[in-house]
Every structure is written in C-alpha cells, then in structure tokens.
Amino acid sequence: MATAADQIQTEEVLYSVSDNVATITFNRPEQQNTISGPMLSALSKYLLQANADTDVRAIVITGSGRFFCAGLDLRGGGIADSGSSQSGGSSNFDLRDAPPTVLHSLDTPTICALNGSAAGYGMDLALGCDIRVMADSAKMAAAFTARGVVPESGGTWILPRLIGWSKAAELIFTGRTLLADECESMGLVSRVVPVDEIADVAHALGVEIAGNAPLAVQASKRMMRMGMNETFNDHVHHVYLQLLPLFRSDDFREGMASFMEKRKAEFKGS
C-alpha cells in the first residue's frame, strides 16, 4: 500500500499518488487554470496512467489557487491542440483520447474536488467525475450558450441524467452561474465543505474507497455505466456475469473471512 507520495510533475499539471489515491492538479492559477492544449494531453495521460496503476484505487482531480478550471484557453491554443485543424476547421476532431472520453471510460473511481469555480469545459470535466465535492466559495458556470457554443465535453449527455431534463434545459439554455449551495440542492455535487477542507475531504473519500475490494469497486462502476443504457433484464444478466470472476478472486475470500473474523479486510486487488 503506497504511503509516500510518488511525484511526477509538469509545469501546468501535477500528478501524485499517496495512500492508494492519485491526485491530478491543474497548476495554472494565474490563468484561472484554463486548459491549454498541452494540459489536455497531460490530463489524458495521467488519467490513463492512474487507471493502469494497480496501486491506485481512486483518482482526485482538483486545481491550485482560487479556481478549479475556468474552461479552455481560447487564446493559448486549447481548441486547436485538442484535435482540430490549426486553421480552425472543426472536421478533424479526434475525441478518442480527449479527457472527457478517457474520463468516462475509466474503471477507477474519480472524485472532483472543486476547490474553486468551474466554467465551461471545467464544469463538464467536473460533471464527468463519479463524485463531486465542492468548496463553499466555489461556483459552477454553464456559460456555453452565452459564448455561442454547446457543452462540448459531455454536458448535454450528463446533465439531463443528473438532474432531469427540465432543470438541465434551464441551466444550459440560460447559461446560468450557480452558487455552491444551489449545486448541492440540485444534486450536482455530493457535499459542500469549507474551502480550506476541500483537499482533505476529497482525499479522505478516496482513501475510504481504496479500503474496499478494488475489483468489486471497478466492476460496480462498470455496471453503473452500462446500466444507464440497458434494460433491467439485460443489466441483471451482465451483473451476474461480473459476479462470476469476483467469486473466484482472493479479495472475495478475504472479504468473507474478515467479516466472519470481525476484522478489517486487507484487499490486494486480485
């Protein structure tokens, strides 16, 4: 079990692993953590790296400074470098390795620690995480239509599923900015905490997840993702198929033994 932080750093995106929790931090506070093209590539790289690391059982995404992420860096090439042609054409987008697509496909649970406000692309990234905790001083700005665009990174798919069609439509069509308590009441975040506690709360949540059997957690996430587009009968059939290899795992035997022996389980991910 990893206890010492394993640091890998770039200038604008930081990556560390501690207590089986990987933390990815946008590190561009002077630019409100707007995402440049290189940052998009680094984010996808670190998400895939964390997902492939058997020592990582949860991923936290957060920002440094006062903002989580104020969107794409439109002046610094965030759009061009993310897959479109340099001439501004929109026909060459390749979304296979784009962060929202990668984020959606991960088996490792993801937690967004909204240390500050999220707007545009930053809001979509936050919504793409499995769990969101939000600082009481943070805001969410669905400012897409006010800029002449749509929620380009999954928001139109995620929002109606999170809060229902009517509330999602109102939020997207008006381009409204929401305070933290409004986000919590609408179900956009799991909880709101004081800003100086956000990092500790998110990490503690990751550690709590990491304490459970990782194969079972990952299978549960896959089943939740698949269940969003399946009938009930198809879904329970797929759940049964997921159970079969879990029954043969060392972690299943450890989970049963620890329950009978009234002790804390020590899961190995095998």
Find, among 160, 68, 170, the residue nearest to 120 by Cα: 68
117 and 242 share one domain: no
Spatial neighbors of 93 by CB under 8 A, at least 6 apart, are 82, 83, 84
The chain-wide mean pLDDT, for the chain, equals 87
Q: Residue 146 — pLDDT band, cuts 50, 70, 90?
A: confident
Asked if the structure places residue 246 within a domain, the reply is: yes
pTM: predicted TM-score of the whole model, two decimal places: 0.86
Is the CB of residue 21 less than 8 Å from the CB of residue 51? no
Shared domain check, 168 and 243: no
Residue 92 in domain = yes
Indicate if 238 and 165 belong to the same structural domain.
Answer: no
244 exposure class (CB count in 10 Å sphere: 0-12, 13-18, 19+): exposed
Is 2 among the domain residues? Answer: no
Banded pLDDT at 10 (limits 50, 70, 90): low
Domain membership of residue 268 (yes or no) is: no
We report the CATH number of the domain holding residue 51 as: 3.90.226.10
Q: Which domain holds residue 78?
A: 8-210
Q: Cα–Cα distance between 68 and 118 in angstroms, integer?
A: 5
